[in-house]
Structure formats: C-alpha cells, structure tokens
Amino acid sequence: MLLLKCPKCGQKMKYNSATPILTKKRKRCVYCGRFFKVTENIVKKV
C-alpha cells in the first residue's frame, strides 16, 4: 500500500496495486479528477 500525493490539488490518497510493477501506472485523483503517474508522486509506503 502506497500513499500518493496529487500534484494538482495536493491531497493525499492510498493506492494498492495488484502487481508490484509500477512503471506506466496512472491514478485518477479522487478529489480533482486529474490523472498522474504513480511512481513520480509516492509520499511513503504504508
């Protein structure tokens, strides 16, 4: 489980991937709706 931070609005959210490979993975922010890359916005491992 990872803690991600949206680069647009700054909100933090949890992310759990089904596979350990995170390259080219994208997530939609649940607050503002923007898509962003998972690997570039990891805050910490939870």
| pLDDT at residue 15, as a whole number | 95
Which tokens in the block code for residue 35? 């898509």
| pLDDT at residue 41, as a whole number | 96
pLDDT in tens, 1-46: 999 999 999 999 999 988 889 999 999 999 999 999 999 999 999 9
First to last CA, the chain: 5
Q: What gap in Å lies between CA 46 and CA 31, rounded to an integer?
A: 20
Give the start-to-end residue ranges of the domains of the chain.
2-45
Burial category of 30 from C-beta neighbours within 10 Å (exposed 0-12, middle 13-18, buried 19 and up): exposed
pTM: 0.84
| pLDDT at residue 24, as a whole number | 92
| pLDDT at residue 39, as a whole number | 94
| pLDDT at residue 27, as a whole number | 95
